Amino acid sequence: MLVSWEWLSQYVYLKNTPDEIANRLSLSGLNHEETTAVDGDTVLDLEVTSNRADCLCHIGIAREIGVLTQQQLCLPEAKIATSGEDITKSWKLSVEAPAACPRYTGRIIRGVKVGPSPAWLVKRLAAIGCKSVNNIVDVTNYVMFELGQPLHAFDLRHVRGNQVVVRMAQEGEQLVAIDHKQYKLNPSMVVIADAQRALALGGIMGGADSEVSGSTVDLLIEAADFAPRVIRSTARALKLHSPSSFRFERRIDARQLDWASRRCCELIVQVAGGTIQNGILDSATTTIEPPTPFTFRCSEIERVLGISIPITEVTRIVPALGCKLVDEGNGQYLITPPTWRADLTREIDMIEELARIYGYEQIPENVPVPMFSSAKRPKDVVLERIRGVMIAAGLDEALTPSVVTQASDEMLSPWTDLAALSTDIALLEGATRLRRSLIPSLLTCRLHNQAQSARDADLFEVAQIYLPSAEGGLPREQCTLGWVSGSNFNTSKGILESLLESVCGVQNWKFADWSNKLLEAGEGTKLQLNGDTLGYVGTFSKSGRKELKLEGTCSFVEISVDGLLALARIVPTAKVISPYPAVVRDLNLVLDEACRWHQLFETVRSAGGELLKDLQYRETYRDANKDGEGKKRVLFSFALQSDDRTLTSQEADDCVKRIIQSCEQSLGGRLIAS
Amino acid sequence: MELNEFVHQLDELEKQAVGELSGIQDATALEEIRIKYLGAKSGQFKNVQKSMGALAATDRPAGGKRFNEVKNAIQAAFDEAQNRASQQATKSTGPLADPTLPGARIRLGHVHPITQTIEHLKEIMGRLGFSVTEGPEVEDPWHNFVALNIPDDHPARDPLDNFYLKTAEKNSGATRLLRSQTSTVQIRVMESRQPPVRIISLGRVYRPDEADATHFPMFHQMEGLWVDRGVTMAQLKSVLRLFATSYLGGDVNIRFRPSFFPFTEPSVEVDFWWSGRWIEFGGAGMVDPNVLNAVGYDPEVYTGFAFGLGVERLCMRRHQVTDIRDLYRNDVRFLRQF
């Protein structure tokens, strides 16, 4: 909001410098952006918050300065002389859309001489960046910037049928506005029409047809109130924002319509001559209720602010703000706010007013604050551990947008087949799908890096994925860890296994088969525990990589952090380490190709019993000449150890024998003598 | 031969041989000396050995002992010289050690700067007694707006200013949106427990904004909330000062400028005075009585404050990042700086 220093001085005595005032205003709610010099005048740019529509005009700012510097306000009275027949005799006003236009008023001025504005008016408007059009339009703008009420002057000649109709637009109705652009309207927009057609887009802009021109003689002066929501949606839909729509969107003071209308007529007669016809077209059937008073307890000041404000200051500031103050005794007052302060309706609002005028700098910044316990959540502990492992594994953390394109969404969705939720408007270019997996996003980043010749972008992310529920409603948001890297399947799975052990200790994990059209055959698996799936591992096949434009090996892992959290070993517990020596043995078995390590592992583990302390896979190799087709040799080693004694070689040998026998019986394995 | 004479011969031989060997640097000269003293045929040592037979039988043990000592001493001097000579040879021709070569580094990953900032904030606020809470990112209008004192016709609810989810029936009870602020979590926490509440919530929020150097339609917020009997705005200022002093280091002053947020009253913008200038921190205020009422807290009994800040801005200032989009491009050349 641009404010002219000279203009302000019409309403309030400015005893301070512009810099001092700008600073005071900044600290009391009107943030000062900059000060410029325009044609001998000083112009302040002030930021007005959306609750302070009363400050979108010079009188509003002058009122603030008056309160801050303890000066009286001097306001124009807007006295008009009227003559002739009452306009309601020959003119009809009908407001068919009272929700969109709660109040409409019109006055008629006859016999004006349209021409250039006087120098003082041009200068005032120029100071705040408003171009002079002609004396009539300039006055409507001047009054808007003076007291915040947007006004519009119609050329009365073009208002047909002696009728003003305020109605919602018809579907497809067209209007050429005074910016000479054609707008296509719809029934959510309010128009000012005559008996035949729309003349203006209510609250936003007048129409070219009825605009004031050099040949205009008689005027209809509109001062009205429009519903903020209607104006906002219309302005946005048409991409047509004006100083008028800006003010209506923030709500104007409907109780000052008449004052604004009179002020406008007064000034038009002053600069363009003409006579104001008797009477007013007014849609209001009853007078608007005055603002509701509320009770104010002085004791509340200290309870909220932590400081008390002297009663003399309270009784000075409250009336200065335009409030009526009635002392009800016991530190209690009945306060009636002024009409222009729609934001001031409650005790707490008054406390804010007192705080900002009395000065926030009066509030100390070193009062005691009681202690309070707080501790890291298990989830924070788990996330820290996860990031620690990821970093040790050489992966860099990425953060990617939660909403992705359709192509990205459909690339891979291991967790669900239900369609992704989507947003009405795109987050970024084409991105409307709430992602169901982190992997497509991470692949996009890998590809971006690849294009920058960084082929080693191994990236992880921890974020929510949004899994729709079959019943609708809020989606299940699963905190998820995903990574993509240039490692092969085995390495990625190894990192996952290290991570699982670090977070959850030893668990009875299962890796089940999982396939996807993008994956290398046999290089996809899902991590399961007790039948629940907690994650996925995969390597992209050659054709998958070609489809995704990935260069070189690429594997990924995606795992539910929520799932890990439920199993997390937040506080590890120590086990006694056996002081007795371990016997380490290697075994080399010939097995069927179909026999999996997991089966062998379980067989050896159950045969070894509690003596088996460690079981490590070593390698697999094949020798069709010696073992025949469809066979493989699996080498593994294990340690046998007791917690309470040194194993005799007999005990160890017996245990090894049991293991071999079990492998022979359940897996059809055959021992190769080493 | 007398023992004395034999020992004298040995002493002389030792002195001479060790002396000469100590000056040897190269292999050729060493070989000459080897032949001179240790040569199998006519080395001087051999000669002395021969004369040992001329000693009286009773002197032989003593002579033999001395003989062995001298032999060992010469051999040791020879070995040392040989070592020196071979090192000298390597120095002039073979590979040389270079301890300034780079070591075999391990490849470490990097934590994203936003995560680092969030962890930093959590740590400081944790010390001030604020516990971390979180809530869903997909929200309903009650938690994102209504309970936060943002009525139906408020501009903040405009469809163009929010990421509403596509639903079959518009304006039905099933309206959902990506949360536009972490204040939603305040509501969820207050709905589920009684005061005292001293929490922070951190996470992603979403607002339609054209992406440029300072805007991104997804960003992170930290929101703090303390509700109890007797919580005042002076305590808000004091807590923020403790926070700022911890975060920025050194002594920091706090300035409040009046502002407007639907869910706080009074509402203020907070600035930190640090290193000779005011730095914008974020918004704050006393929890609006309407919000306390919405969650079933009696505003006549409890007061509270809330504050919120953009994590990106803090992160960018701290690490001198000039374009917010760099944080979400995930170029490894960017990420590996942190």
What residues make up the domain containing B15? 3-91
Q: What is the pTM of this model?
A: 0.85
Our count of domains for chain B comes to 2
Residues B194 and B284 in one domain: yes
pLDDT level of residue B168 (50, 70, 90 thresholds): low
Closest by alpha carbon to A600, among A540, A667, A645, A660?
A: A667
pLDDT band at B90 (very low <50, low <70, confident <90, very high): low
For residue A179, pLDDT beyond 80: yes
Where do the CATH 3.30.930.10 domains begin and end in chain A? 378-567
Nearest CA in chain B to A433: B165
Whether B233 and B329 map to the same domain: the answer is yes
> In whole numbers, what is the pLDDT of chain A averaged over residues?
95
The domain A82-282: what is its CATH number? 3.50.40.10
Within 232-271 of B, beta carbons closer than 8 Å to A belong to 232-235, 237-242, 253-260, 265-269
Cβ partners under 8 Å of residue B200, min gap 6: B121, B122, B125, B130, B131, B132, B133, B222, B223, B224, B225
pLDDT one-digit tens code per residue, B101-158 = 999 999 999 999 999 999 999 999 999 999 999 999 999 999 999 999 998 878 888 8
CA angle (A443 as vertex; A441, A447 as ends), nearest 5 = 120
Note the helical H segments in B134-220.
141-144, 183-192
| Range(s) within chain A of domains with CATH label 3.30.56.10 | 2-69, 294-359
Bridge partners for B255 per DSSP: B271
- If asked whether residues B87 and B129 sit together in one domain, one would say no
From the list B111, B138, B269, the residue facing A466 with the nearest CB is: B138
* Digit-coded pLDDT (tens) for A435-479: 999 999 999 999 999 999 999 999 999 999 999 988 877 889 999
| Residue B95 predicted with pLDDT over 60 | yes
Q: Which alpha helices (H) appear in A2-57, and where do they start and end?
A: 5-8, 18-26
Q: Within a domain: residue B102?
A: no
B103: in domain = no
Query: How far does A314 lie from chain B, in Å, by closest CA?
Result: 16
Provide CATH 3.30.70.380 ranges for chain A. 583-671
Q: Considering only residues 472 to 511 of chain A, which have any Cβ-Cβ distance to chain B shorter than 8 Å?
A: 472-475, 477
State the pLDDT at residue B169. Answer: 53
State the average pLDDT over residues A562-581: 94
Per-residue model confidence (pLDDT) at position B211: 94
Q: Residue range A555-580: average pLDDT?
A: 95
Longest dimension (CA), chain B: 128
Superfamily grouping for domain A583-671: Ferrodoxin-fold anticodon-binding domain (3.30.70.380)
Give the CATH fold of the A2-69 domain.
Phenylalanyl-tRNA Synthetase; Chain B, domain 1 (3.30.56)
Q: Are residues B224 and B85 in the same domain?
A: no
Contact (CB, 8 A) for A424 and A462: no
Q: Is residue B195 domain-shared with residue B312, that is, in the same domain?
A: yes
Smallest CA–CA separation between B101 and chain A, in Å? 22
| B87 and B24 in a common domain | yes
Encode pLDDT of B75-89 as tens digits: 888 888 888 777 776
B279 with B221, same domain: the answer is yes
Give the pLDDT score at B91.
Answer: 65
Q: Tokens 């952090």 sit at which residue?
A: A561
Domain boundary among B57, B91, B125: B91
**Distances A399 to A451, A483, B331 between C-alpha atoms, Å:** 19, 12, 11
Calpha distance B118→B115 (Å, rounded): 5
**Residues above pLDDT 70, as percent of chain B:** 97
The residue of A25, A296, A399, A436 whose CB has the most chain B CBs within 10 angstroms, and thus the best one to mutate to test that interface, is: A399
Mean pLDDT of chain B: 90
Claim to verify: residue B81 and residue B153 sit in the same structural domain: no
List the CATH number of the domain containing B292: 3.30.930.10
pLDDT band (50, 70, 90) for residue A376: very high
> If you average pLDDT over residues B151-176, what whole number do you get?
79
Mean pLDDT for A76-101 is 94
B302 and B206 within one domain: yes
pLDDT at site B134: 93
- Measured distance CA(A194)–CA(A217) in Å, rounded: 18
Query: Over the stretch A264-281, which tens digit does the pLDDT of each residue have?
Result: 999 999 999 999 999 999
Judge whether B193 lies within some domain.
yes
Name every chain A residue with its beta carbon within 8 A of the beta carbon of B254. 365
Indicate whether B307 belongs to any domain: yes
Q: Residue B171: its pLDDT value, please?
A: 52
Report yes or no: A334 at the B interface, CB cutoff 8 Å. Answer: no
Quote the pLDDT of residue B84. 79
Task: Say yes or no: B54 and B153 in one domain.
Answer: no
- B97: in domain: no
Q: Which pLDDT score is estimated for A281?
A: 95
Least CB-CB distance to A365: which of B217, B254, B259? Answer: B254
Look at residue B100 and tell me if it is in a domain: no
Which residue of A346, A427, A454 is in closest CB contact with B333?
A454
Q: What is the DSSP string of A79-117?
A: ---EESS-HHHH-EEEES-TTT-SEEEEEEEES----PP
Residues 248-277 of A with CB under 8 A from B: 249
The amino acid at residue A36 is T
Does B188 contact A at CB distance below 8 Å?
Answer: no
| Angstroms from B70 CA to nearest CA on chain A | 50
* Tens of pLDDT, residues A8-41: 999 999 999 999 999 999 999 999 999 999 999 9
Confidence band, pLDDT 50/70/90 cuts, at residue B173 = low
Closest partner CB to A472 (pick from B164, B174, B253) = B174
Nearest CA in chain A to B240: A365
Domain co-membership, B272 together with B181: yes
Strand partners, B198: B226
Co-location of B146 and B290 in the same domain:
yes
For strand B197-206 and strand B131-133, is the pairing parallel, antiparallel, or unpaired? parallel
Question: In this predicted model, what pLDDT tens digit does every residue of A544-559 receive, in sequence order?
Answer: 999 999 999 999 999 9
Q: How far is B263 from chain A (nearest CA, A)?
A: 12
Percent of chain A with pLDDT over 70: 100
Task: Please return the burial class of A514, using the count of CB atoms within 10 Å of its CB with bins 0-12, 13-18 and 19+.
Answer: middle
CATH placement of domain A294-359: 3.30.56.10
Q: Which CATH code fits A378-567?
A: 3.30.930.10
Among A307, A424, A457, select the one facing B166 at the smallest CB separation.
A424
pLDDT at position A46: 96
Taken as a whole, chain A contains a residue count of 674
